[in-house]
Amino acid sequence: MKICVLGLGYIGLPTALLFAAHGADVVGVDVKQSVVDCLNSGNLPFGEPGLNNLYSEAKSRFLVRTEPEAADVFLIAVPTPLDPATKVSNLSYVKSAADMIVPHLRGGNLVTLESTVPPGTSERVVIPRLEKSGVAVGDFLYAHCPERAIPGRTLQEMTGNSRIIGGYDRDSTDRATAIYQTFVRGQIYQTDTRTAEFVKLMENTCRDVNIALANEFAQLAEECGINVWEAITLANKHPRVTVLNPGPGVGGHCIAVDPWFLTENSTRCRMISTAREINDSMPNYVLRVARSLLAGVRDPTISILGVAYKGNVGDTRESPAFKFIQLAENEGYAIRCHDPYAAAFAHPLMDLPEATAGSDCIVILTDHDCFRKLDPAGLQVRTKLVIDARNILDHEKWTDQGFAVRVLGDGSS
């Protein structure tokens, strides 16, 4: 079986390699020459646990190109960004991937879409474009197979998680199921394309709304003089309650984006967009805490520890750090950033001693494990203030070293 995977990013590349490692001949396609060159020279364009080994294992069955070619299966895993001005999905990459498949599409081929899209996109946008090949859907098979893997555990989750497969018709669903079963050990649940599109968006929206609730609890607890972390631990002792963790905001390419895909055509949804607004306002809230702590400090410098959108990954897409830095710089704070995982960022990254030298306030924005054990002794700061926006530090250790510690939602403001 030959599979052509369009889009070699965080989802497409691991998926292509898993198929190759399980016996398929895979042609990976990316329009970025730099990605193709990187892979052809034996390197990976991004890091992910286990991916190097998988690449070595799969290499002999994996070719990389900038153009697709004839295959039995075409898999689309290209980005679907959000237009920041309109909060509407940008489907241009999906459209252009479908157009690239058209000259190669034959009867009996299967096309699967893994990219996250608004409900109805397969029927309204993707299938009609594919039919420009002269082959009608039904003669080619089509399924939406949304991914569920979490960065940092991508390979484990791609193989172990259950999956939803929504086919255009019975044959499409069964064929896609059989193909994914070559490496997916989790249960596969079958449905139609539109439901599969909706389910994927519901999953990420559910998480976003629950994080917004935790963030609102943190702010309410603050007003009541209550430590939200203790309150959450106690509330979660209830057998049917799971409050998530408050934090400096929601980042990443999925949870911060997908809820807008669900609501973009609706005039009646309020809870989902309110949750988005709450999560997007968390950098403002962290800055408010910093502002109150730094009142009276001349020419204050803030040291940010962690610019990745979440712990133990280097991915900075949609990271709350962007907004926090922009707001803080607009208020005249000097900013220094340190992140041992992120390779590049819009703001210069420094090592820990340099990022904290002369600092007036350390702000923990990302829950990297290496920050948990951080020893404040020896940090050459000017003012001993730390804001732990993830509640991960050993607070006793920091207070013993003379630091005033503020934890987001600790009720001390």
What are the residue numbers of the active site? Answer: 200, 254
Residue/partner pairs of 224-230 with CB below 8 Å, 24 or more apart: 224/411, 225/411, 225/412, 226/411, 227/407, 227/409, 227/410, 227/411, 228/409, 228/410, 228/411, 229/391, 229/407, 229/409, 229/410
Please report where in the chains the tokens 């001349």 appear, as a residue.
Answer: 298
Q: Which 142-181 positions form the footprint of ligand SAJ (CB under 6 A)? A: 147-151
CA-wise closest residue to 411 among 313, 324, 289, 301: 289
179 versus 256: smaller Cβ distance to ligand SAJ: 256
Contact status, residue 193 vs residue 142, Cβ threshold 8 Å: yes
| Choices 40-48, 75-83, 221-229, 245-253 (CB under 6 A): range interacting with ligand SAJ | 245-253
Q: Tell whether residue 363 is a contact of ligand SAJ (CB under 6 A).
A: no
Q: How far apart are CA 404 and CA 396, in angstroms?
A: 10
Q: Tell whether residue 122 is a contact of ligand SAJ (CB under 6 A).
A: no
CB of 163 to ligand SAJ, least distance (A): 11
Q: Which 60-119 positions form the footprint of ligand SAJ (CB under 6 A)? A: 116
Among 59, 207, 382, 395, binds ligand SAJ (CB under 6 A): 207
68 versus 151: smaller Cβ distance to ligand SAJ: 151
CB of 41 to ligand SAJ, least distance (A): 28
Whole-number Cα distances in Å, 225 to 59, 279, 314: 57, 22, 35
Distance, CA of 112 to chain centre: 21
Q: Tell whether residue 250 is a contact of ligand SAJ (CB under 6 A).
A: yes
116 versus 193: smaller Cβ distance to ligand SAJ: 116
CB of 250 to ligand SAJ, least distance (A): 4
CB of 233 to ligand SAJ, least distance (A): 13
Q: Tell whether residue 213 is a contact of ligand SAJ (CB under 6 A).
A: no
CB of 309 to ligand SAJ, least distance (A): 4
Residue 331 has, within 13 A of its CA and on its CB side, a CA count of: 19
12 versus 300: smaller Cβ distance to ligand SAJ: 12
Among 203, 216, 354, 394, binds ligand SAJ (CB under 6 A): 203
- Hey, is 296 helix, strand or coil? coil
72 versus 203: smaller Cβ distance to ligand SAJ: 203
Distance, CA of 70 to chain centre: 31
CB of 368 to ligand SAJ, least distance (A): 11
CB of 211 to ligand SAJ, least distance (A): 5
- Hey, is 77 helix, strand or coil? coil
Q: Tell whether residue 254 is a contact of ligand SAJ (CB under 6 A).
A: yes
DSSP string, 89-125: E--HHHHHHHHHHGGG--TT-EEEE-S---TTHIIII
109 versus 245: smaller Cβ distance to ligand SAJ: 245
Give the alpha-carbon dihedral of 89, 114, 247, 337, to 10 degrees: -80
Q: Tell whether residue 226 is a contact of ligand SAJ (CB under 6 A).
A: no
Q: Tell whether residue 382 is a contact of ligand SAJ (CB under 6 A).
A: no
Q: Tell whether residue 7 is a contact of ligand SAJ (CB under 6 A).
A: no
Contact status, residue 126 vs residue 167, Cβ threshold 8 Å: no
Contact status, residue 338 vs residue 350, Cβ threshold 8 Å: yes
251 versus 300: smaller Cβ distance to ligand SAJ: 251
310 burial type by CB count under 10 A (0-12 exposed, 13-18 middle, 19+ buried): buried
Among 12, 118, 119, 251, binds ligand SAJ (CB under 6 A): 251
- Hey, is 188 helix, strand or coil? strand
Among 4, 75, 100, 255, binds ligand SAJ (CB under 6 A): 255
Among 261, 309, 322, 345, binds ligand SAJ (CB under 6 A): 309
Longest Cα–Cα distance in the chain = 73
Q: Tell whether residue 305 is a contact of ligand SAJ (CB under 6 A).
A: no
Whole-number Cα distances in Å, 26 to 19, 45, 126, 167, 351: 7, 18, 22, 22, 40
Among 204, 303, 356, 359, binds ligand SAJ (CB under 6 A): 204
What residues line the site for ligand SAJ (CB under 6 A)? 116, 147-151, 203-204, 207, 211, 244-245, 247, 250-252, 254-255, 309-310
